[in-house]
Amino acid sequence: MLIGVLLPWVMLRPNRLAAGEAVHLGSPAWLLALAALVIAATARRSLCVVVLASAALISTFVLFGHTAERILAEQGPIARASASSGVWLFGLGAAVTLWGGAFEQRARGAPYRWLPWLWLPVVATFVLLGGLSGWSVWQEGRVEAARLTQEAAQHVRLVVTALSLALVIAGPLAVWASRNAQVAGAVLSFAGAVQALPSLALLGLLIAPLAALANAFPALRELGVAGIGVAPALVALTLYALLPLLRNGVTALRGVDPAVLDSARGMGMSDAQRFWRVQLPLALPVWLSGARQATVLLIGVTAVAALIGAGGLGVYIFRGLNSAAPDLILLGAIPATMLAFLADAAWRLLEWLLVRPARQP
């Protein structure tokens, strides 16, 4: 963190593609003092480290936002102010210290478990009030607002469709594999082999067979099946989602206590009744954990689908790579990261809601 204060915080460019000029903080003395206090609190392992690290993380956003606005006020309308190495290093140090302190205090059984999240509403309010309006990524987002919304919606559609297809395929296969060791070995080996393939290679391998199918059957072409576009992306994404769904499904179904199933059989339940009323409800939380892993995985892999014309937030990532514009890369990467966090939180909430009734007396 101390080094981050001394490094440049803003990279000023006359336009998106021009070389930038590094800008340091004007008076970093108080920020150096804050970083020193955070380090001192970390050494003492006190609760203050969480508060001080939260203050450092908030200061990262506020200082960068104000510095970028101040610099851009003297520049032209196409000038860009991007975050430089000092922002990333100082912010990363504050975040790592914050969560390290939070885990330390939780292990000690300290109260106020909401403290590690103290920074989030403050930063969210700052951002909503336009505090980061001078950031180059924010400026690119304003310019690309309509297209960005469209590509984000396409990203979500691809993820939801692929996950739904994978659930339809993996559900019956997991039930079958949980009752047959040979089937389990075969399906898990296949899913693992697919997972080992690089996503770009898998997309490339699907181009030729899907193009041949579309040429052989014109009806498929009318439905949108082609060598490039949405069809190969959905096939690849569905295959990628199979492994966590199958692995967790088989583990969950096999992990149900046999004594519980024997009790259900003793009560006169049929095999179907035991599965739907006993085994599946007990296995569902672990199975949903696999769905959560698959969702987060798909959100990341879907970005690569933009290379074959399927759309999504990867469009901006590859546009930025092609034009050496890091702002465009972040314009695609930040929303994708936020989607992954939101999806993970939603699945965890669903798992908690399912597990909570079982724990209540």
Q: Is residue 276 one of the residues assigned to a domain?
A: yes
Q: What is the mean pLDDT of the chain?
A: 85
Taking residues 205-212, what's their average pLDDT?
85
pLDDT band (50, 70, 90) for residue 267: confident
Residues 164 and 294 in one domain: yes
pTM of the model: 0.85
133, 161, 176 - which closes a domain: 133
Residue range 214-254, pLDDT digits in tens: 888 888 777 778 878 888 899 999 999 999 999 999 988 88
- Residue among 312, 341, 333, 310 at smallest CA distance from 153: 312
99, 133, 167 - which closes a domain: 133
**Domain harbouring 327, CATH code:** 1.10.3720.10
Q: Is residue 262 one of the residues assigned to a domain?
A: yes
Residues 11 and 82 in one domain: yes
- Count: domains in the chain: 2
pLDDT band (50, 70, 90) for residue 155: very high
Residues 94 and 242 in one domain: no
The per-residue pLDDT for 361 is: 46
Residues 105 and 181 in one domain: no
Residues 125 and 235 in one domain: no
